Every structure is written in C-alpha cells, then in structure tokens.
Structure 1
C-alpha cells in the first residue's frame, strides 16, 4: 500500500534501523554512538522527497518499506538539500557528499525507477516481505516498459535483487573499500515484445 504522511516517522526509523550496520553506513559515520542520529536525519531528507516525488510503499503492518524515485522525467533535488544535509550530517557531511558523487557517477541515464531504499524490520527478514514489495512495484514497471535500478550495499541484498531479475554491474566502492554494486532490471514485458 502507498504510504501516507502519518507513516513518515515510522518509515524513517525502519530505514535507519535497517541501514545503520551496513559497511557503507559505517564508513559514512564511523562512531557507532553518532551513526543512528546522523543517518536518521539523512534518511528523513530522502523519505520526505520521495513522499512528494516518488513512490513509498509499506506493508500493512509497517514492517517493510520500498522507496522508489522515478527517473523517467526531470526530477528536482530534495528541497534545500545542501543546508539540510549539513544540518543532519554535521561533521560527516563531506562523506555523504562523496557517496552522492559516487552514486551520481554510476547512475544510468536512460529512463528508470530507482529503488533508493528497501527495508524490512530485522526480526522479520527472510519472510519474503522485501520480495512482496519488489514484485508490487515491478508489476507497475513491467506494464509501463520501464527499467529499474539500485545500488546493492551487501552480498545478501545483491543476491536478493538477482533473484528478482536484476543484473549486477561493475562494483564500485567508497574510498576505504565498502563495496556497492549497481544493478539494473529490464522490464519483463518490454523484453518479451
């Protein structure tokens, strides 16, 4: 189901909880005692942007979320991004800018929807919640003949996306080596035509 504005805080908490232990998150904010708060502020910027310009789907119990941004038209950046990034990330802002530049350098130029976040409550992982969320939006993309793109930040997530038809591009990494895999999924109906 499509998320409503009353879901935003719970979504931000869920994404932050799900992403705080990833290698790229540890690189972004090395001190564990700072990481959750900094990531929470950063995630807020992107969730609020997606609520306005993208698709934010949640499960009925709010234990899973998929956040998509359409890149099949000109998409504005998040409002007041530089100021909000500095306020949210403080001392760690430059690291977030490095990751922004890396993502931009590897981002495809052809029309697609970008999966910016897929998060499932830690106690419910492995139950197929992420797969349900992926299939839901993939059906829309397949019907419209639009591809999907994402950056996988762990081997298990890369494997999950591969099971859903994503092909892995050339790995890139943050300066200290946390790997990221760009992945592309062709729309199935467009392939069958």
Structure 2
C-alpha cells in the first residue's frame, strides 16, 4: 500500500537542490539530449537552465511544491495574467548555454508559439529522483496543486516529454490539445496537454 508523501512549498533555500533534482530526473529525455548533445556537458548546462526557472517560480512567478524528503518537485508558473521570464533571461541563457544557445532559443520559440493563451497554471517541470520512480510521488505532487486549481476554477497546461508521461497525465485529467505535438526536432517531441477544471 502506497502512503501519500508529505509535501511542502519550496523556498529560496531549496533552489539549488530542486535544480539538481530536475537534472537527475531529466537526463534521459529526448528534448534534453537535443538541447545539449554532448553527454559530458549536458548536466551542467541544463542544470543551470533549470535553476533559472526554479528561482523564478519561487521568486513569485509561480510555486514549487516538493516532497518533504526532497525526492520530488513540481515547478508551476501562474499564467492567469500572461507570461513572465527570469530576470535578464536572454543574457543569462547565452552565458549558460554557450555554443548550444541556438538550440535553447529554438525550444523557447517552439514552446511559446504553441502555448495556450487562456488563463491557466503551467506545470513546466515535474521531477522525481530516478531511485523513487513508480512510487506515486509525481501523482501526489500534481494532486496537491490540482485540488487548489480546481477550487479556484483554474485550468492547467503542460508539455509531456514522452508517451509514457502522456498516459500518466491523462489519468490526472489532462487531454491532448490541437495540434497535439510540438516537433522540437526529428527525434524530440513534446505533447501539449490541457486540464480543464475538475468538479469532484
């Protein structure tokens, strides 16, 4: 029997840990391999990129919810009043991405061009440490925020990184959008998914 893990809202003290957690959790994802093809450079570059967004969410643009044992985290952005980006994003992205900058800019353009315009909360990263996969931590993190969004009448959006994740999100009320797929590259795709407010 799986017990529901205890959760808490992340603070500035958690920024680096959450960035490390996402880096550990996302290393296998096709889109991340597209961003930084060199496996020796992939983790340090993408980890700094995740950190920009984690800090931005914690700083007021959204919310980061994590398990109290720090094995899982969900990075959400409030898009009920439009989009925002980390301070000095263009410069900081150029500094961290280096020779891979064009790939990051391509992904940003693709994601923004395909982002829904209706007010919503955006689940940008849902990360669980690999040694804790299949223990329902991701579901618990989503259920926590979904309950609040449902109470407030706010829908949610995300980009699933694989068919397996797409199936998980469908079980949590997300449905495919039209068009359903963002073609980042020939080998890397994201799946646009929308979760209407649920009445329980």
Instruction: Name the TM-score, length of structure 1 as normaliser.
Output: 0.95
Whether contact under 8 Å (1:147, 1:187) holds in the other structure is yes
The one of 99, 102, 127 aligned to 2:107: 99
Within the alignment, does 1:54 sit opposite 2:76 as a pair? no
> For 2:157 and 2:174, how far apart are their aligned partners in 1?
8
TM-fit CA distance, 1:147: 0.4
Whether contact under 8 Å (1:20, 1:39) holds in the other structure is no
Whether contact under 8 Å (2:111, 2:182) holds in the other structure is no
> For 2:89 and 2:63, how far apart are their aligned partners in 1?
19
Whether contact under 8 Å (1:55, 1:68) holds in the other structure is yes
Moved over 3 A (4+): none
Q: Deviations over 1:92-116 (max 9, x none)?
A: 0110000000000110000000001
Within the alignment, does 1:68 sit opposite 2:73 as a pair? no
Paired position in structure 2 for 1:45: 52
Paired position in structure 1 for 2:168: 160
The one of 112, 119, 138 aligned to 2:127: 119
TM-fit CA distance, 1:51: 0.7
Flag the structure with higher helix content.
Answer: 1
Cα RMSD after superposing both structures: 1.1
The one of 19, 23, 42 aligned to 2:30: 23
Unaligned stretches of 5+ residues in structure 2 = 1-7
Paired position in structure 2 for 1:80: 88
TM-fit CA distance, 1:76: 2.7
Whether contact under 8 Å (1:66, 1:118) holds in the other structure is yes
> For 1:70 and 1:27, how far apart are their aligned partners in 2?
27
TM-fit CA distance, 1:5: 1.4
Within the alignment, does 1:184 sit opposite 2:194 as a pair? yes
Paired position in structure 1 for 2:149: 141
- Residue 92 and residue 150 in structure 1: after superposition, are their counterparts in 2 closer, same or farther (change >3 A)? same
TM-fit CA distance, 1:41: 1.1
Q: Deviations over 1:15-42 (max 9, x none)?
A: 0111121000011111100100110111
Secondary structure of the corresponding residue to residue 134 of structure 2: coil
Secondary structure of the corresponding residue to residue 188 of structure 1: coil
Q: Deviations over 1:117-145 (max 9, x none)?
A: 00001011100000000000000100010
Secondary structure of the corresponding residue to residue 139 of structure 2: helix
Instruction: Name the TM-score, length of structure 2 as normaliser.
Output: 0.92
